[in-house]
Amino acid sequence: MKLLFSYLSATVSQCRYHAAVLVFLCVLQLSCAAAEAAKVLIVGDTRYAFVAGVAADIQLAVRSQVKEYAVVDIRGRLGAIVEREGAEVVVALGADAVHEALRLPPSVAVVYGLVVVPPKSGRVNVTGVYMSPPVSEYVSTVRRYLPSLSRMSVVGSQGMLRSLLGGDYAQVSAYGVSSSSELVATVNQLTGTKSLLLLPDSNLLTAPVMSSVYLFSFRNNIPVFGISEANVRQGSLFALVFDPKAVSRQIGEKVQIILNGGDAGELPASSPRRYNLYINSNTAQKMGVEIPDEMLRKAKRVYQ
């Protein structure tokens, strides 16, 4: 009997030990799952250093658990990943990522970035930061530094004009075009304008189109305002280019507001708060445009 009692006691103790271990493992697994779950997912083509850098800066601005996913790895599966993670916000960087994110249920907030203009969508619970400066930024820059060029012509697709024109500028003439050939034909008729701004549209601004535009520009002594540093290298007088770190902070701020209980749908889409200025002094000299010292000092880079 003593032997049986000892055996039973040992068995009970062993069972208690195994039960305790099992409970511990379960608690550990749940803790790990909670620790690994992310409230914020960042989706983008992170193979590119530029996108990866923006994603890293967004993480620094967000006070919450964040996970990154390459868009190529989640295509068609983003909804399942969001559900698995219990994510509240998806940050979509680039057109492909935005396309995937806008298909998510409206309960998931979407914050976009690294897109030229706000994407078209009837989806609620979405906001973001787009890259292109609104026309008002060019108007303000020209009025401040180059007032003789204030009579500006703006050419772009109807969609770009709706997104970036805004306001009512007496000294701005807007021209909507629907094809590259129409853009070139329109520009060639603007011999009376003082300056020219082409709105960003990769379908319209092909290499041959830009060559034609620059030829018109130098023949008629009408400076073109660029949309990228590359444009300035090619011959644009100046360009306003978004600052990646500033945009990352803006996106992070929007995400944090949403995590704190804000509604993404009530946060208006915004353009960058800060731009880098690039100037081509050689173009200015050829066209007889005097760039004031204050503008030159403000430039991130001056091409000569």
Per-residue confidence (pLDDT) for residue 169, from 0 to 100: 67
Residue spans of alpha helices (H) in 37-77: 49-61, 71-74
Residue 50's identity, in one-letter code, is: F
Per-residue confidence (pLDDT) for residue 122, from 0 to 100: 86
Q: Is-contact 46 70, C-beta < 8 A? A: yes
SS3 assignment, position 89: strand
Q: Is-contact 160 129, C-beta < 8 A? A: no
**Pairwise CA distance, residues 101 & 288, whole Å:** 48
Please say whether the dihedral angle defined by the alpha carbons of residues 191, 163, 251 and 203, taken in this order, is positive or negative: negative
Report the chain's terminal Cα–Cα distance, integer Å: 102
Per-residue confidence (pLDDT) for residue 154, from 0 to 100: 96
Q: Is-contact 43 101, C-beta < 8 A? A: yes
Pairing of strands 172-176, 195-198: unpaired
Mean pLDDT for each 10-residue chunk of the chain (304 residues)? 41 46 40 61 94 94 90 94 95 96 95 94 92 94 95 94 79 93 97 96 93 97 96 97 94 95 93 95 96 97 95
Q: Is-contact 153 188, C-beta < 8 A? A: no
Per-residue confidence (pLDDT) for residue 166, from 0 to 100: 77
Per-residue confidence (pLDDT) for residue 202, from 0 to 100: 87
Task: Give the residue among 138, 96, 136, 88 at the shortest CA–CA distance from 113.
Answer: 96
- Continuous segment of H or E residues that includes residue 173: strand 172-176
96 forms bridges with which residues in the sheet?
none
Pairing of strands 66-70, 126-130: unpaired
Q: Is-contact 287 149, C-beta < 8 A? A: no
Superfamily of domain 135-241+276-303: Response regulator (3.40.50.2300)
Q: Is-contact 49 22, C-beta < 8 A? A: no
Q: Is-contact 201 177, C-beta < 8 A? A: no
**Pairwise CA distance, residues 176 & 105, whole Å:** 35
Where exactly are the structural domains of the chain? 135-241+276-303
